[in-house]
Amino acid sequence: MRYYLGVDWADQTHAVCVVDERGMKLTARTVPHTAEGLSAWGRELDEWRAQGIELWAAIERPEGRVVDFLLDHGVVVYPVNPKALDRARDRFRQSGAKDDPFDARVLADFLRTDHAHLRTLQPSSESAQELKLLTEDYHRQVRQQTRLVNQLTITLKAYYPRALEMAELTTALAREFLQAHPTPQAVTALTNRQWQRWARAGLRSFGRSSSNPSCPCGPTWSGPRPD
């Protein structure tokens, strides 16, 4: 016995439809892209396989965590080209408009009727899968860093714009400066010598050079107090 799964993936939830060999719909559901949601779905897949049911799945992408998840649970995965899905969708609905539950059903039926024209996805080696996960984590961290830096920049522009003139926010110098002088008032407590030391480091951070760095904060700033 074989079940055909149509998986219409998304960032937050995945639409899943399962049909049997005659095309009868067995279940249609959404799976949250969370540890709990995937774990529950994985138990369902494992139970079916324990009953001797072969599982084939059609999905529009050839890589990603959902694909790896299916492969890890012994599902035979068939990537489907989006253009092929468009043509298959027209069989079921004249409008061809996209709808996640509907697309999941189309994917399941398309796999059932046209699998001879599709190629199965071969599982990657453990090393390749690990590298893929590390790469995805790296890109996620970069995106998160960019969002946080943008938020901090907006806050400092409104509250403490002079800190932005000291160093790039992604540098260790910027962290040290903000930790040592977290408010505009704290900067006024600097002696001239202390300011010169920070200013020289800031110029190096921006790739500039100066034998006598001056305060980059403008004439309205009272400046560091004398030594």
Q: Is 16 left (phi over 0), alpha (psi -120 to 50) or beta?
A: beta
pLDDT of residue 19: 94
Rounded to two decimals, what is the model's pTM? Answer: 0.55
pLDDT per position as a tens digit, 70-120: 988 999 999 998 888 888 877 776 544 455 578 899 999 999 998 888 888
Q: How far is CA 218 from CA 15, 162, 168, 177, in A?
A: 57, 9, 18, 18
pLDDT per position as a tens digit, 7-44: 998 889 999 999 999 999 999 999 999 989 999 999 99
How many structural domains comprise the chain?
Answer: 3
More confident residue, 47 or 89: 47
Q: How confident is residue 219, by pLDDT bands cut at 50, 70 and 90?
A: very low
- Residues 164, 111 within the same domain: no
Q: How confident is residue 61, by pLDDT bands cut at 50, 70 and 90?
A: confident
pLDDT of residue 211: 45
CA atoms lying within 13 Å on the CB side of residue 204: 10
Mean pLDDT score, 136-153: 88
Where does a domain end: 159, 178, 209? 159
DSSP state string for 61-128: -SSSHHHHHHHHTT-EEEE--HHHHHHHHHHH-SS----HHHHHHHHHHHHHHHGGGS-PPPPPPHHH
- Residues 11, 109 within the same domain: yes
Quote the domain boundaries for residue 168.
Answer: 160-227
Mean pLDDT score, 124-136: 67
pLDDT of residue 222: 46
- Residues 151, 200 within the same domain: no
More confident residue, 124 or 66: 66
% of the chain residues with pLDDT over 90: 34
Task: Answer for the pair 52, 72: CB distance below 8 angstroms, yes or no.
Answer: no
- Residues 83, 166 within the same domain: no
- Residues 221, 143 within the same domain: no
pLDDT of residue 96: 47
- Residues 138, 202 within the same domain: no
How far apart are alpha carbons 167 and 154 in whole angstroms? 15
